[in-house]
Amino acid sequence: MKRLSFIVLLFVLVTACGHKDKGFMPERLLTEQEMIDVMTDVQIIEADINFQKNQERERDPYDTTAVVAKDYVKITRSYYQQMFEHYGINDSIFTQNMRYYTERPEVLERIMDSVLQRLTKEQSISSAQQQSNH
């Protein structure tokens, strides 16, 4: 998963440095709405993996091997593979679309704003449901 985070960061840095290749087109261009859906799931996957890692650390904060013992690389790959299958894409198409949208920062900003709004709304709904169950 660090690979994916690195890829996203790399694209942002390349864009920030003024490199713009507006002619690049992915082999399959995802619409803005599809990117919102995919990026929302990416954020949920990343949050879940981090939650699992923190749970491992809390079980035994003095055991530095606890987090390493569980193979988070395989777990992360599995999550992403399921997500890619759900959307009918693969990691190459995802990476190409990240490149395409990163080279269009105004569009990427809209996408990420929508992702944040959706996650905030989902969190509010989840919190309200938890409170009503107690």
Proportion of the chain above pLDDT 70, given as a percent: 77
pLDDT of 18 over the 50 cut: no
Angle at 47 (CA atoms; ends 2, 74), nearest 5 degrees: 50
pLDDT of 19 over the 80 cut: no
The chain-wide mean pLDDT, for the chain, equals 84
Is residue 8 very low, low, confident or very high in pLDDT (cuts 50, 70, 90)?
low
Mean pLDDT of 24-53: 95
Regarding predicted confidence, which is higher, 44 or 22?
44
For 126, the 3-state DSSP assignment is helix
- Residue that has been written with the tokens 């759900």 in this structure: 86
Name the amino acid, one letter, at 44.
I
Asked if 75 and 52 touch (Cβ cutoff 8 Å), the reply is yes
Closest CA to 94 of 47, 44, 29: 29
